[in-house]
Amino acid sequence: MNSQVTGLCLFLALATSASAQTLFGPTPYLSAADSPFPLGSPAYALETFEDHLFNQPGVSASTGYVTSTTFTGSIIDSVDGDDGIVGNDACSNCDSFFSPVGAVVLTFDEVALGGLPKRVGVVWTDGGSSITVTFKAFDVSDTLLGTVTVPNMGDASNHGTTGEDRFFGIEFSAGIKKIELTNSSGGLEFDHLQFELPCAVVPSVPYCTAKLNSLGCTPSIGGAGTPSASASSGFTISAVNLRNRKPGILLYSNAGRAATPFTGGTLCLAGPIKRVQDLNTGGTPSPANDCSGVLSVDMNAFRAGTLGGNPAPYLSTPGTVVGAQYWARDPGFPAPNNTQLTNGLEFVICQ
Ligand SMILES: [Ca+2]
Ligand SMILES: [Ca+2]
Ligand SMILES: [Ca+2]
Ligand SMILES: [Ca+2]
């Protein structure tokens, strides 16, 4: 082995040992609000089984089935809040996942996900009475990352009681390949399988309401590519259905969503709001008036400073959730309502 390879191996060994893991649980869990993870972020996947399918891409179970495919009624043991009522110790017409043997392994697909999740959790919802429940997690090499063993779990009911339900999870920055839940006897039921999406599949999520412009068109925002804290290109925010040849601005904020009345429409961003200025909708040449206008900005280029302006430092911080909304002039409305507004777009800054 030459010294370069030796050095590389040493670096890899150090990199692995530097990735400490954190185990979560067992903690009571009645709704997504009880998760230690920010499940409202587009960077997280949450499988509640409430569409009666196990269809979250990138994860599969070693055994078992969606509970309603075999059972009906109150024997189905979902997370309490999935019926919209938290704290009634039941979930009517809800669903979960059932393994008839007391062990289930949930494996993440590194190829489908573009990487392995760094945070994973699951909610144990039923099994036998006073059993021992074990949660384990493994890395990409099948190395055990940690074990949580809990004796005397499970109430005396095999119906959908929720006071016994417990969250288990793990955080490991080098990625989690699989988790395993085991009951010391009997079948096993779980719900709210959740994980942080690798950057490759974190979607940009449209939200809020666009303002109808004076030509009767509804401007619409969208994102393409991956928002990056380090790349200098590759994430484009665009808007279509705008009036042609009008000045425009992209507004953005890290303060969360809003729906505030604004110039006859809705401002979708909480303040403080920053901007990307000096855009123009282009489209059909004047003097024609139509909705051929388009606005587009590569936010990675803006972040990197290559488009000028004053990019917010948080655009270079991985994990930041950012909202954006286009504003453009609309001379067809009297001031101060002479504006066009798209809906909002929420995205997460990746590495
Ligand atoms: Ca459920
Ligand atoms: Ca309920
Ligand atoms: Ca239960
Ligand atoms: Ca029970």
**pLDDT tens digits for range 77-105:** 999 999 999 999 999 999 999 999 999 99
Per-residue model confidence (pLDDT) at position 10: 37
In terms of pLDDT, which residue wins out, 18 or 212?
Answer: 212
Which tokens hold the place of 60?
């599969």
Q: Which ligand is nearest to the CA of 91?
A: 2
- How far is it, in rounded angstroms, from Cα 325 to Cα 251? 5
- How far is it, in rounded angstroms, from Cα 329 to Cα 242? 9
Domain 20-198: assigned CATH number:
2.60.120
Distance 86 CA to ligand 4 centre (A): 18
Total Cβ atoms within 10 A of residue 165: 28
Distance 58 CA to ligand 2 centre (A): 28
| Neighbouring residues of the ion ligand 3, judged by CB less than 5 Å | 77, 125-126, 161, 164-165
The predicted-structure confidence for 127-154, as pLDDT tens digits, reads as follows 999 999 999 999 999 999 999 999 999 9
Nearest to 40 by CA among 328, 321, 333: 321
Phi/psi at 13 (nearest 5 deg)? Answer: -60, -45
> What's the whole-number average pLDDT of the chain?
93
pLDDT at 6 over 80: no
Distance 231 CA to ligand 4 centre (A): 49
Q: Is 189 helix (H, G, I), strand (E, B) or coil?
A: strand
pLDDT at 113 over 50: yes
Q: Which ligand is nearest to the CA of 166?
A: 3
The H or E element that residue 301 is part of is helix 299-304
Q: What is the largest CA-CA distance in the chain?
A: 78
Q: Which ligand is nearest to the CA of 128?
A: 4
In terms of pLDDT, which residue wins out, 15 or 169?
Answer: 169
* Distances in whole angstroms, Cα of residue 315 to Cα of each of 20, 253, 256, 274, 298: 27, 10, 14, 11, 12
Q: Which ligand is nearest to the CA of 83?
A: 2
pLDDT at 319 over 90: no
Which tokens hold the place of 191?
């719900």
Nearest to 343 by CA among 205, 216, 215: 205
Per-residue model confidence (pLDDT) at position 3: 39
Nearest to 276 by CA among 245, 243, 240, 239: 239
Q: Which ligand is nearest to the CA of 163?
A: 3
- How far is it, in rounded angstroms, from Cα 263 to Cα 24? 46
Distance 47 CA to ligand 3 centre (A): 17
Distance 85 CA to ligand 2 centre (A): 4
Distance 126 CA to ligand 4 centre (A): 5
In terms of pLDDT, which residue wins out, 319 or 235?
Answer: 235
Q: Is 207 helix (H, G, I), strand (E, B) or coil?
A: strand
Distance 321 CA to ligand 1 centre (A): 26
The CATH number for 203-348, chosen from 1.10.287, 2.30.30, 2.60.40, 3.40.720, is: 2.60.40
pLDDT at 119 over 80: yes
Per-residue model confidence (pLDDT) at position 235: 96
Distance 311 CA to ligand 4 centre (A): 53
Nearest to 113 by CA among 192, 230, 195: 195
Q: Which ligand is nearest to the CA of 154?
A: 4
Contact between 122 and 188 (Cβ < 8 Å): no
Q: What amino acid is encoded at 320 in this protein?
A: T
In terms of pLDDT, which residue wins out, 2 or 348?
Answer: 348
Contact between 77 and 67 (Cβ < 8 Å): yes
In percent, the amount of the chain with pLDDT more than 70 equals 95
The predicted-structure confidence for 166-179, as pLDDT tens digits, reads as follows 999 999 999 999 99
The predicted-structure confidence for 39-71, as pLDDT tens digits, reads as follows 988 899 999 999 999 999 999 999 999 999 999
pTM summary value? 0.78
Contact between 253 and 263 (Cβ < 8 Å): no
Contact between 243 and 214 (Cβ < 8 Å): yes
Distance 94 CA to ligand 3 centre (A): 12
In terms of pLDDT, which residue wins out, 8 or 339?
Answer: 339
Distance 29 CA to ligand 2 centre (A): 12
Per-residue model confidence (pLDDT) at position 15: 40
- How far is it, in rounded angstroms, from Cα 291 to Cα 283? 8
Distance 206 CA to ligand 4 centre (A): 39
Distance 86 CA to ligand 1 centre (A): 12
Distance 162 CA to ligand 1 centre (A): 11
Distance 126 CA to ligand 3 centre (A): 5
Per-residue model confidence (pLDDT) at position 132: 98
In terms of pLDDT, which residue wins out, 50 or 3?
Answer: 50
The predicted-structure confidence for 297-318, as pLDDT tens digits, reads as follows 999 999 999 999 999 999 999 8
| Residue whose structure tokens are 């425009």 | 248
Q: Which ligand is nearest to the CA of 78?
A: 1
pLDDT at 349 over 60: yes
Tell me how far apart the terminal alpha carbons of the chain are, to the nearest angstrom.
33
Q: Where are the domains of the chain?
A: 20-198, 203-348
